[in-house]
Amino acid sequence: MYRVLIVEDEPPAIKPIKTLIYKYCKDFDLVGIAENGVDGISMARELEPDLIITDVHMPLMDGIEFVSKIKRKNPESLILIISGYSEFEYVQRAISYGVNDYLLKPIVPSEFIYTMNKIEKLLEKQFYQNRNRLLKKMSKEKSVDPMEVKHYFPYDKYFLSIIRVKGMPGRFERSGELEIYSEKDETIAVYGRDLNEGLYLIPYEVIGNSDIRMFNRKIMKQYKKIDVYFTFVYMTRPVSIRDIPETMKKLYKLLDKKIIIGKTQVLSELDDNNKYVEVNQKDAYEILDKIDYIFHQMEYGKIKNELRTLFRQWASEERPQIYISHMLKQILYLSQKYNRENIAGWLLETEDILEEILAEANQLEDVQNGFTDLLLQSQQVLTIEKVDAPEFLESLRNYVDCHIGEEISLTSICSTFGVSQPYFSKIFRKYMDKSFNQYITEQRMEKAKEIICNNKDLLIKDVASLVGYNNQFYFSRIFHAYTRLSPTEYFNRAYDEREGG
């Protein structure tokens, strides 16, 4: 229910508004009536209404001053002004202060109901935007107001779970990546820091203990169709509203330290142990000392064999991504400490490429190959492929356009064009200012928009297949993240615009 405050000094004007709200505006609750602007400010502070309906002319404080003060003190409140024909200049001024709509006296019931329906849509949109903002804030472990959490998550208890496809995103990926959000009519809140992730908040009152297991299985079934590894972490018990931020933090940390590249896992909070965090420091130092010696002696021929042995050992021990990432960054540092002055700048750029390799790998062998090339190129042992960048990128664009309905990965594209992954990532970022994964997603979504607009009878699953997705659910999530509309909503809007034009 959306809370309504009326600020009006004329009882005859108040009565029809009250009647229309009670009779026709079922999603609105009249929480207060103020007879002047001063009382209106006080009641707005106390009641925190979603909508304020106010007159332009009132005793003690006119509507313009009232609107100005409300927008400073209650910026989230929407404002509907009621005015006479002779007061239109005041209305125009009020609109410049942030009034959302206006009606002329005497009130026509059909116009009032139509306007309230418009305002309801605005409030609904505002509610979900604010809820999404709050989810994003909590995912970054920032402090939040408990009352705000309770407002946007109205149930008493929630189950939480997170699913992550492939590895954790790198710094460069996060800077321009699309985020996943719930659609407006979803009771279950969803948020993803990028397109490969979904955090689910499921109301206990809606789903219950028995159905949460079924819900979790349903989520995993959808993601299994993508044919890449994923990590699913979940709470076995519902948590109260006040515990949501801390529980999110706990699940994200569990996810971070448990991802094993190439291995699908299903884990609960009960699996939160330190098996992979408390690594054997002696083993780690022995590995790094041995590699340090190789670099110091410039025996680069031994690097490939040493890395092959190292990755084989990590695979057998099922080392998580967080451990492997740490060790590989240490090796990058060792590779340059004897022969590079600006090591800090070089490391920052090279670590970004490494993080992309880790995030996009579907198996540990992909990381081994990409990292080996990255390391040997940095030592100028491996010949760097020289290409004409504009010509290369034009060929790449043509290839992607012709093969948009097929599986295209960083590994496959490098194999097709005969370049190493580190070199490809470096040149692509330099000229495109985005990761290859972001570029592919954009191209697939633009093609999907075109297909949807021009083929009204095509099923969503067929659209998904035509742009390279074998999972309708996954495609729809990404499409919504890209356009802020579901595929069906996008078609309906495009159709309406075409018919209207």
pLDDT of 34 higher than 90 = yes
Other Cβ atoms less than 10 A from the Cβ of 122: the count is 14
pLDDT of 123 higher than 50 = yes
pLDDT tens digits, residue range 348-363?
Answer: 778 888 998 998 899 9
User: Tokens at residue 217, please?
Assistant: 């299985």
- Taking the C-alpha atoms of residue 162 and residue 199, their distance in angstroms, rounded to an integer, is 4
- Taking the C-alpha atoms of residue 361 and residue 261, their distance in angstroms, rounded to an integer, is 7
Name the 3-class secondary structure at 314.
helix
343-360 and 321-336 helices, crossing angle to 10°: 150
- Taking the C-alpha atoms of residue 63 and residue 60, their distance in angstroms, rounded to an integer, is 10
pLDDT of 281 higher than 80 = no
- Strands 2-7 and 51-55 turn out to be parallel
Cα 202 off chain centre by: 17
The pLDDT, as a whole number, for residue 88 is: 66
pLDDT tens digits, residue range 177-235?
Answer: 677 766 655 678 888 888 889 999 999 988 877 788 888 998 898 888 888 999 999 99
The pLDDT, as a whole number, for residue 154 is: 86
The pLDDT, as a whole number, for residue 383 is: 46
Does 298 or 476 have the greater pLDDT score? 476
pLDDT of 258 higher than 90 = yes
For 97-142, where are the alpha helices, taking DSSP H only?
Answer: 109-139
Q: How confident is the model at residue 55 (pLDDT cuts 50, 70, 90)?
A: confident
User: Tokens at residue 442, please?
Assistant: 């954009």
Q: How confident is the model at residue 139 (pLDDT cuts 50, 70, 90)?
A: confident
The pLDDT, as a whole number, for residue 4 is: 97
- Taking the C-alpha atoms of residue 76 and residue 214, their distance in angstroms, rounded to an integer, is 38
The pLDDT, as a whole number, for residue 95 is: 75
The pLDDT, as a whole number, for residue 39 is: 94
* Domain 2-125 superfamily per CATH: Response regulator (3.40.50.2300)
Q: Which of 489, 470, 486, 488 is nearest to 478 (CA)?
A: 486
Give domain 389-500's CATH architecture: Orthogonal Bundle (1.10)
In terms of residues, how long is the chain?
501
In the chain, what are the domain boundaries?
2-125, 153-271, 281-378, 389-500
Distances (CA, A) of 477 to 135, 225, 260, 457: 17, 14, 25, 21
**Under a CB-based contact definition with an 8 Å cutoff, are residues 468 and 405 in contact?**
yes
Does 3 or 188 have the greater pLDDT score? 3
Q: What is the DSSP letter of 241?
A: G
Distances (CA, A) of 264 to 199, 312, 324, 325, 427: 17, 19, 17, 19, 32
The pLDDT, as a whole number, for residue 280 is: 56
- Mean pLDDT over 306-326 rounds to 92
pLDDT of 416 higher than 80 = yes
- Taking the C-alpha atoms of residue 9 and residue 36, their distance in angstroms, rounded to an integer, is 6
**Under a CB-based contact definition with an 8 Å cutoff, are residues 304 and 372 in contact?**
yes
**Under a CB-based contact definition with an 8 Å cutoff, are residues 102 and 81 in contact?**
yes
User: Tokens at residue 153, please?
Assistant: 């998550």
**Under a CB-based contact definition with an 8 Å cutoff, are residues 53 and 70 in contact?**
no
Lowest mean pLDDT among 181-190, 259-268, 431-440, 460-469: 181-190
pLDDT of 321 higher than 50 = yes
As a whole number of angstroms, the longest Cα–Cα distance in the chain is 93
Cα 392 off chain centre by: 32
**Under a CB-based contact definition with an 8 Å cutoff, are residues 326 and 276 in contact?**
no
| CATH 3.90.1200 matches 153-271 | no
Lowest mean pLDDT among 24-38, 222-236, 286-300, 378-392: 378-392
Other Cβ atoms less than 10 A from the Cβ of 389: the count is 12
The pLDDT, as a whole number, for residue 379 is: 64
User: Tokens at residue 69, please?
Assistant: 């003060």
Q: How confident is the model at residue 42 (pLDDT cuts 50, 70, 90)?
A: very high
Q: How confident is the model at residue 370 (pLDDT cuts 50, 70, 90)?
A: very high
The pLDDT, as a whole number, for residue 336 is: 76
Mean pLDDT over the full length of the chain: 86
Exposure pattern of 343-353 as b/e (b: 16+ CB <10 Å)?
eeebbeebbbb
Element of type H or E holding 193 = none
Name the 3-class secondary structure at 280.
coil
Q: How confident is the model at residue 275 (pLDDT cuts 50, 70, 90)?
A: low
Q: How confident is the model at residue 425 (pLDDT cuts 50, 70, 90)?
A: confident
pLDDT of 277 higher than 50 = no
Q: How confident is the model at residue 380 (pLDDT cuts 50, 70, 90)?
A: low
Name the burial class of residue 355, with classes exposed (0-12), middle (13-18) and buried (19+) by CB atoms within 10 angstroms of its CB.
buried
pLDDT of 341 higher than 70 = no
Q: Which long-range contacts (CB under 8 A, 24 or more apart) does 462-467 make?
A: 463/487, 465/405, 466/404, 466/405, 467/404, 467/405
pLDDT of 263 higher than 70 = yes
